């Protein structure tokens, strides 16, 4: 199933990322694809915030993979879906920008263990560049530039995103 959203400013794209966070349960690999400036990092910022990671969210420019701890107790979360689900257990969030990274370099970081751990969520920008190491069944989100402030954001997924800009 494909779900499409149009955002008309960067805040809406962040919000969409925040909304997605409310649907994740742990163990997901979130693959962001799209050209430079499409909004992958902007979306990631919202997703990190929604998952309860405290900023600042510096880009993983000097490391292949940036690891964050989820700091905000889920019971305090503003996402009703999350607090109802006692199985929610996301503890660590990993962020990769694969623009200049080789798939093999990621594999060398203990990739298999990271993606198999249900306490983790992994976010990959430029995921299409390292597609061969992306687990099957991952969530793919395609971001497209439509105009100065307009972006099309399409999910390939089962996730119900109750998003109204």
- Contact positions vs ligand ADP (CB under 6 A): 7-10, 12-13, 34, 36-42, 125, 149-151
- In terms of Cβ atoms closer than 10 Å to its own Cβ (0-12, 13-18, 19+), residue 145 is middle
Which residues fall within 8 angstroms of residue 104, CB to CB, at 6 or more apart? none
CB 55 within 8 A of CB 48: yes
One character per residue 121-140, x = contact with Mg ion (rule: CB under 5 A): ----x---------------
Residue 43: how many CB atoms within 10 A of its CB?
28
Distance between start and end Cα atoms, the chain: 21
DSSP class of residue 22 equals T
* Residue of closest CB approach to ligand ADP: 39
For position 82 contacting Mg ion by CB under 5 A, the verdict is: no
Q: Residue 143 Cβ, how far from ligand ADP at the closest point, in Å?
A: 6
Work out whether 13 is an interface residue with Mg ion (CB under 5 A).
no
Closer residue to ligand ADP in complex, CB, 99/108: 99
Distance CA 16, CA 155 (A): 11
Nearest residue relative to Mg ion (C-beta): 41
Nearest approach, Cβ of residue 118 and Mg ion (Å): 26
> How open is the CA angle 104-102-51, to the nearest 5 degrees?
90
| Closest to Mg ion by CB, 40 or 49 | 40
Could you tell me the smallest distance in angstroms from the CB atom of residue 125 to Mg ion?
Answer: 5
Quick one: tokens of 15? 């919000």
Work out what residue 37 binds among ligand ADP, Mg ion, none; the CB cut-off runs from 5 to 8 Å by kind.
ligand ADP
> Quick check: bond before 107 cis, omega within 30?
no
Nearest-approach distance from CB 10 to ligand ADP, in angstroms: 4
Nearer to Mg ion, 60 or 82 (CB): 60
Positions touching Mg ion (CB under 5 A) are 40-41, 125
């Amino acid at each position: 199933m494909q779900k499409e959203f149009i955002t008309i400013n960067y805040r809406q794209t962040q919000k969409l990322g925040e909304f997605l966070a409310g649907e994740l349960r742990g163990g997901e690999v979130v693959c962001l694809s799209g050209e430079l400036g499409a909004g992958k990092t902007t979306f990631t910022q919202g997703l990190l915030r929604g998952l309860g990671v405290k900023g600042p969210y510096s880009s993983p420019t000097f490391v292949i993979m940036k690891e964050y701890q989820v700091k905000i107790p889920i019971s305090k979360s503003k996402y009703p879906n999350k607090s109802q689900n006692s199985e929610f257990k996301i503890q660590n969030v990993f962020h990769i920008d694969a623009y200049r990274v080789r798939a093999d370099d990621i594999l060398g970081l203990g990739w298999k263990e990271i993606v198999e751990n249900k306490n983790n969520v992994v976010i990959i920008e430029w995921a299409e560049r390292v597609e061969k190491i992306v687990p099957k069944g991952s969530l793919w989100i395609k971001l497209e530039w439509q105009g100065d402030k307009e972006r099309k954001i399409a999910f390939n997924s089962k996730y119900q995103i109750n998003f109204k800009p």
